[in-house]
Structure 1
Amino acid sequence: MASAISFLEPTLEKQLKGHRNSITAAFYNPNEQQLATSSLDNCVLLWDLRGSMRSYKFQGHNEAVIDVSFSPSGKYMASASRDKTVRLWVPSIIGSTGVFKAHSQTVRSVQFSPDGTKIITASDDKIVKLWSSHKHKFIASFVGHTNWVRCARISNDGSIIASCSDDKTTKLWNLENGECIHTFKNQKGYGLNIAWHPSGCYIAIGTSEGNIKLFDTRTYNLVQYYKVHDDAVTKIAFHPSGSYILTASKDGKMKILDLLEGHQVFTLCGHNGAVNAVNFSPSGDTFASAGDDKLVCVWKTHFTEMSYDTKENMQLNQMTVPKSTSQTTKIRSQIKGKHQVVK
């Protein structure tokens, strides 16, 4: 397998100011011309990335906005709030197009399905729910968690939902029949954020203990494990190539992990205080970060990409990944095809 020839460090291109409280999430419009951010200031800001950097403010939620997401077409945004509702917006001066009460407690995450016809939500009421995006009709509940559900994300083919909870489990759900396919149990800490690898074969979980865990969703094996943060991992994002993970943490740092080589390549310190949001643009050329300092940072990626001959562009379960960056860490490789066990 080919490896990267060199790495160029990301550069900070812009800092955007507008929110009046901590920023909780950031999401690019698929057209890459806009960036949406949500905040504890009860608002969503939509940033024009084409030069002016001006922002539109979307107001309507009565309490903090915890998550924001674009539809695959880029024609709509959805925001999730502590006020127990999800709001739909047109990303222009038109603004709000609808609101519905999604849960009985705080809505922690919201996401459109890959075809844009459904919306998935997760809440402190311990439930993951599925809705139609057109008329906001309730479709199904996914019940099984015994504590707050921090995040729920749909696989790229729209067939599986992954959710993580304060009950120290991560669950995979069958979207069609609502059944729990598998439960991953965390011995320490709990998952705060989930991301699907572009291949659809792996999920990454960022935990309250500062760890990043990658699981194979076909074999349910732990295939990579990183201990790189000193505090909770708040957000994780895969680069579109599938070669890298970008992480954010309450420790005020961001990390870039090379999944093919199995180690950390960069530590970024662009914020004062906790970093609560990171996300790559659809092309991967840029990424955004935001946090408690109320700033949105836009970075140029500068990564050297790799070329692959197969559709499934990586085999994570054949890699050796250290538990930490310590040079004294000893890694014992197990049978090929299984995850690496750190002793």
Structure 2
Amino acid sequence: MSYNNDIIDEFLQEIQEEIEYQDEDIPVSDNYSEISTEIEMDDEKNLTNDSAGGFYDHKESVYCLHMNPVDEDIIVSGGGDDVAYIWRISTRERLCKLSGHTDSVTVSSFSYDGEYVATGGMDGLILIWRYKNNGELVTTLEGGDEILWVQWHPRGNVLLSGSNDANVWMWKIPSGDVMQLFKFHKKAVNAGSFTPDGKKIVTASEDGSLIVWDPKNATIIHKMTPSDSRFDCGGLTCLAYNKEGTVVAVGGVAGKVKIISLINGALLGSLNEQKESIESISYCDVLPIVACASVDGTVALYDTFTYKLRNVLIHDGAVISLSFVSNTPYLTTASTDRTIRRWDVRTGKCLKQCFGHHDSILCICSSLDGKTIISGSDDKSVLNMKLTFMTKKRNLGYN
């Protein structure tokens, strides 16, 4: 079959006009290089997996993780599938499935001696398990409304918990006997813990109040409330202690951090450089630095002598957790941008960036030496990141 040349020419002309029309519809962006960089970054996050393996038994988001303090090869994880698992990092072997909650498991923690595991959920229950007895359920504690956090005493089998109903409970384990009920807060108690020496309890609430308690008789030692305008930083979200246990830093939804003396209850400093909720705080134990993580994607580094801003570290999403590696100037951060990063706070330099998750990171925990980082995500996975490059002790020069 043959075609008339005029018909062919007309057809080609129509194609050319269509191409030119489509080209005119494509906007030319002055930010093309930035767009390309963002695409490349997303591709790198999606394609790169820096993990040394993972645990994939959860069927929903992974909300909590904790490492056994006696055997750091053992992890407990809890998730939106209403179960928790105890598993071994090195082999990725599942050791126990902890079933009994009727809603998401949002908190989990090993006792100081690694013998017991506490899991708390949105069902208002705290379940106590004996790890070495194949995850035997020891006792069930009813902690009121949704459980927001649990913490073990640093030297005994005593458990502390805070809930959405404004109450804080202290139990003796394994009996499950109630030792104290701490009542003052008017709204959810979002954070709380024993002080490092185990002699006091500090709780922080959505109502903006911070209370220092005597655990022996549930009496208030110190309190700070929004009625003191110097302390007002919105609902409180998290807290952390300095190495000596003499000072507590508390963060709030307004992006502010307040520094309080545990000795006399005095307000020592106000850190106001971030714009959105503070999600995590950590003190460096070798340098005078406190790090504060915010939903605004920043990590602010403050000098603990002057309480002045030293540096700001940047993620591409909300920073949900951070912690210093013990006896080093190295800081580990995790973000909803799906990355885990290791920083040197002396310089503000990012030493390592780890990829592997395909959705927001929700929780992390790490070994004492900082070489193993375990992360849980909205993608239902738990990944094991290895960071072994910073084992040598270095000069801690700080200006």
What pairs with 1:26-37 in structure 2 (closer than 5 Å)? 26-32=108-114, 36-37=118-119
Task: State the alpha-carbon separation in 1 of the partners of residues 290 and 303 from structure 2.
Answer: 7
Equivalent of 1:255 in 340, 365, 383: 340
Q: Which residue of 2 aligns with 1:239?
A: 325
SS of 2:275's partner is coil
Greater per-residue helix proportion? 2
Q: Which residue of 1 aligns with 2:292?
A: 205
Distance 1:244 1:159, change over 3 A: same
Q: Is the 8 A contact 2:297 2:319 kept in 1?
A: yes
Task: State the alpha-carbon separation in 1 of the partners of residues 52 and 156 from structure 2.
Answer: 26
Distance 1:88 1:296, change over 3 A: farther
Distance 1:195 1:264, change over 3 A: same
What pairs with 1:1-343 in structure 2 (closer than 5 Å)? 10-12=52-54, 16=77, 17-18=83-84, 21-32=103-114, 36-46=118-128, 52=134, 58-92=140-174, 94=176, 96-143=178-225, 144-199=231-286, 201-230=288-317, 232-251=318-337, 253-259=338-344, 262-270=349-357, 274-282=360-368, 284=370, 288-290=374-376, 297=382, 299=384, 301=386, 303-308=388-393, 314-315=396-397, 318=398, 337=399
- CA drift of 1:205 comes to 0.9
Task: State the alpha-carbon separation in 2 of the partners of residues 224 and 25 from structure 1.
Answer: 32
1:305-333 deviation per Cα after TM superposition (whole angstroms, max 9, x unaligned): 43437xxx745xx4xxxxxxxxxxxxxxx
Q: Which amino acid aligns with 1:142?
A: M
1:258-305 deviation per Cα after TM superposition (whole angstroms, max 9, x unaligned): 3267205133545x7554332335565655544667x79484755344
Task: State the alpha-carbon separation in 1 of the partners of residues 146 and 392 from structure 2.
Answer: 42
Q: Is the 8 A contact 2:239 2:251 kept in 1?
A: yes
Q: Is the 8 A contact 1:32 1:281 kept in 2?
A: no
Using the size of structure 1 for normalisation, the TM-score is 0.74
Name stretches of at least 5 consecutive residues in structure 2 with no aligned partner.
1-49, 58-76, 78-82, 85-100, 226-230
Task: State the alpha-carbon separation in 2 of the partners of residues 281 and 44 from structure 1.
Answer: 25
Q: Which residue of 2 aligns with 1:341?
A: none
Name stretches of at least 5 consecutive residues in structure 1 with no aligned partner.
1-7, 319-336, 338-343
Q: Which amino acid aligns with 1:81?
A: S
Q: Is the 8 A contact 2:129 2:139 kept in 1?
A: no
Distance 1:187 1:246, change over 3 A: closer
Q: Is the 8 A contact 1:26 1:279 kept in 2?
A: no
SS of 1:188's partner is coil
Task: State the alpha-carbon separation in 1 of the partners of residues 102 and 377 from structure 2.
Answer: 11
Task: State the alpha-carbon separation in 2 of the partners of residues 218 and 314 from structure 1.
Answer: 17
Task: State the alpha-carbon separation in 2 of the partners of residues 282 and 111 from structure 1.
Answer: 19
Task: State the alpha-carbon separation in 2 of the partners of residues 151 and 145 from structure 1.
Answer: 15
Q: Which amino acid aligns with 1:70?
A: W
1:78-134 deviation per Cα after TM superposition (whole angstroms, max 9, x unaligned): 111111111223453646543322411110101111110101010011111101122
SS of 1:125's partner is coil
1:133-177 deviation per Cα after TM superposition (whole angstroms, max 9, x unaligned): 223222110231241011122222121110111233111112222
SS of 1:145's partner is coil
Distance 1:233 1:212, change over 3 A: same
SS of 2:170's partner is strand
Q: Is the 8 A contact 2:332 2:343 kept in 1?
A: no
Q: Which amino acid aligns with 2:366?
A: F
Q: Which amino acid aligns with 2:388?
A: F
Flag the structure with more relative contact order, 1 or 2, with Cα contacts below 8 A and sequence separation at least 6.
Answer: 1
